Structure formats: C-alpha cells, structure tokens
Amino acid sequence: MVRPAIGAAIAGVIGITLFKIWGEERQALAVLATGYGTLQNALTSASSVGIPLLLTIAAVKIITTSLTISSGGSGGVFGPSMVIGGCVGAAVGLTFQQIWPTLVPHPEAFAIVGMAGFFAGCAHAPFSTIIMVSEMTGGYGLLLPTMWVSTLTYVMGRPWKLYSKQVPTRLESPAHRGDFLVDILEGIRVQDVYQERKLLVHIPEAMSLDDIVHTIARTRQHYFPVVDTEGRMVGIFSNDDVRSYLYDETLWKLANARDVMNSDVVSVSPEDDLNTALRCFTAVAIDELPVVDSSDRMVILGTLRHKEVIAAYNRRLMEYKKAADDQA
C-alpha cells in the first residue's frame, strides 16, 4: 500500500504545480487523466493549445504514466503513448508552421503522424500503427510520412521496448493458458489417468532419518507418503526435503519422518477432473500428487504425475483435431 500512496502523492504534487503555473488553462491537467480531450484539440486545432503547453503535457505525461505503472496502477500504456506522441507531433508541426507557413498549412497532420511514430517505436509495432493512421484519416494521404516516421522510430528504438515482459504468443501467456487447457481437461477424470501404484513405498511416521536415507537409495520413487500405524497418510516428503539433512549425520538417528514430512498435503481424488489437478500442481509447484479416496482423504490410492496430465491433454487434443479433420 506504500508504493501506490507514494505514486499518487507525487502525481498530486505535479498536478498542483501545473495548476499553479498554467492557472486557468485546465488542459495542463491532462497529465492526470486520459488526456484525450487535449489530444482531440491537438488533432483539430493545434494552435489553440500552443507549443509550450503541448510539450509540457508530453513531458509530464511520461512522468505521471511512469508513476502510475511503477506504483502498481493499471492505467494502461497505449492511451498515454497516443497522447505523448500526438502532443509532440503537434508541437513539431506548429514549429515548422512558424518557420515555413506556406509549406505547413496543417500542423495537425504532424500530430497524427507523431501518434503513430511514437507508439511504433516504443511498442515495436510499425505495421499496425501505419494501418491505424489510414483508418483514422480515411485515406492514404499520410501513408508515406507515417511509414517513414514509424520506420525511423522502430529502428532507433530497438534497444528499448514498452512491453518488456510480453511473451511471444498467447499459448505462452499464463493469463491465457486456461483458454487452451481448461475446457479439454475438465472432461477427463483423475481415475482415467492415474496409476494405482501398488508398489508405492510408504514411510512409517516413526522411521528414523537413517532408515529413510537407505530406503530412498533402494527405490526410484521421488515422493514418499508418510503413514501412521493404521496405514493412514499423515504427510508427504520428497527426495529434495531429505537432501538438506544428508550432510549432518548426527541428525540421522535423532530425526524421523515427522521431522521431514509436510503435513499440509495437497491431494486429488479419482473423481476430480484434470483441471482441478492442474491447479493443484500449479499451487504447490510439485511434479506428483497423491490420489486419495474421496470418502476418506487419509487413504492413499496412488499418485498422479504432472507429465501424465500433459500426456492426457495431448491425446485428447489430437482426438479433437482428428475429429475436426474428418468433418472437414
């Protein structure tokens, strides 16, 4: 809660400072809002805004947008980039108009090209911005300058990127992973996939660490359920949990399975779907889940491996693709 408070406080100070400097010129406060109203004026009548105010809005908008994003806000970056690029472009157009009035009759065109060029450079998206300008203007009069500016900003801005954490495709995005997995996995039950591992090694809760180490050495099993005297599961541990004790042999006789195990067991039942299982895998970041009886979750039936879930998903996906190809 401290970071948003700091960001909001600094933004507030900036807003008050601009209000004191510009007085009745409320357009300066565009740095605290979307800024679309000022951008609209820059696109229709840039001279009514003026070069100093346009450059001030562009420069301060960069600061306030950075404060919003870095303090945890979700104001977005596309809108501010349009305002910054449009204001800078309009200011450049007005400057050229003052130098060559007859050659630059419409400085507002610079605002449109500035919007496209700025976003093309910081987002590495030159083609989409070129198309955007054509759609905005309803013609191709600004196509050549837009291509020129967008290409320049794209080439010069290659070392930096606005979306620094963006993944290459939707398939690699955690936010969209459910679009590809959930619907298919909901139709498959754990009981259709998991193996009832009758040779699964159970570790008594009173077993010493010395015996545990030798037991692990004799099996390729990675996760070990810990059971009480009645054979009911009370915890689970992995090879990694034991590794931290290996270099201190004095503990081998003192520690037992209860000292090593994790009593907060995340498990699934045979009736659960694989979507539930996948969420469990993600929540605890392990490769194998115990499968327990749905009526008594302390009775372990086997284990479900993460690779088995992925294999089931791939098989079902291939079935869907084959069915779609047959229909086509």
Do the two domains 2-166 and 177-323 of this chain adopt the same fold? no
Please tell me the predicted confidence (pLDDT) of residue 165.
63
Q: Report how far residue 246's alpha carbon sits from residue 3's, in angstroms, rounded to the nearest whole number.
A: 43
Please tell me the predicted confidence (pLDDT) of residue 321.
77
Q: Report how far residue 56's alpha carbon sits from residue 208's, in angstroms, rounded to the nearest whole number.
A: 72
Residue by residue, pLDDT tens for the chain (328 residues) are: 888 889 889 988 988 888 888 876 777 777 787 888 888 888 888 888 889 888 988 899 989 888 888 887 766 778 888 889 989 999 999 999 999 988 888 888 898 888 888 888 888 888 888 887 777 777 777 888 888 888 898 888 888 777 766 666 655 566 555 555 556 777 788 888 887 766 788 999 989 888 888 888 888 888 899 999 888 999 999 888 887 777 777 777 788 888 888 888 889 999 988 888 888 887 777 888 899 988 888 888 888 888 888 888 888 878 877 877 776 5
Please tell me the predicted confidence (pLDDT) of residue 94.
92
Where exactly are the structural domains of the chain?
Answer: 2-166, 177-323
Task: Give burial (CB, 10 Å; 0-12/13-18/19+) of 143.
Answer: middle
Domain 2-166, CATH 1.10.3080.10 — does that match? Answer: yes
Report which of 288, 204, 197, 298 is spatially closest to residue 239, judged by C-alpha positions. Answer: 288
Please tell me the predicted confidence (pLDDT) of residue 40.
85
CATH of the domain spanning 177-323 = 3.10.580.10
Pair of tokens at residue 253: 């006789």
Name residue, tokens 């157009």: 93
